[in-house]
Homo-oligomer: A and B are copies of this chain.
Amino acid sequence: MTVLGIDPGLERVGYGVVRREGSRIVAVDFGLVRTVPGPVPSRLAVIFEAVEKLLEGHAVSLMACERLFFGKNQTTGIDVAKAAGVIQLAAAHRGLEVVELSPAEVKLAVVGQGAADKRQVQYMVTRLLGLPEAPRPDDVADALAVGIAAALKGSKPR
């Protein structure tokens, strides 16, 4: 089972491809898609194409996306949701299921505690994947955590 974990955003999209091999989880690929300031539709196109390339390059069996909640900044929230929309469209085009996991679900699955802090999540992501150092920036670690959580759950589609 290979999962593409996604931490969505308009400026930065963290991604992490992980494969479950029995009880082990292996990091296949991870990184960040960045977009430069400019019209939102063009930035969405950059994100869509980057995700399409990731799905072409890896035999992904599930996309796992961090579930969105809106805070005080509505405009940012709307832009992040637009980005999540085009990312999930890329999954649909390949017939891929998408699961959305809340931050608490991800922490529970990765650290064993829904209220774990960022450092604990980073530490466990690094350890579980046997990486030499913590993946940076946070968006990448978060995307890997979402991917790991979905791979551990073998989760249900939304």
A100 to chain B, nearest CB (A): 8
A112 at the interface (CB under 8 A from B): no
The answer to whether B82 touches A40, judged by C-beta atoms less than 8 angstroms apart, is no
Q: Is A158 an interface residue (CB 8 A)?
A: yes
With A and B bound together, what is the CA distance between A85 and B85 in angstroms? 6
Interface residues of A in 38-62 (CB under 8 A from B): 39-42, 44-45, 48
Q: How far is the CB of A99 from chain B (nearest CB, A)?
A: 10
Q: Interface size bucket, A side? A: 20 to 34
Interface majority SS on A: helix, strand, loop or mixed? helix
Whether A74 contacts B85 by the Cβ 8 Å rule is no
A91 and B158: CB pair below 8 A?
no
A84 to B74, CA, bound (A): 15
Residues 55 to 72 of chain A near chain B (Cβ within 8 Å): 68-70
- The distance from the CB of A5 to the nearest CB of chain B, in whole angstroms, is 16
Pair A39/B85 contact, Cβ less than 8 Å: no
Judge whether B158 and A98 touch: CB under 8 Å. no
Chain B residue nearest to A100 (CB atoms) is B40
Contact of A137 with B by CB under 8 A? no
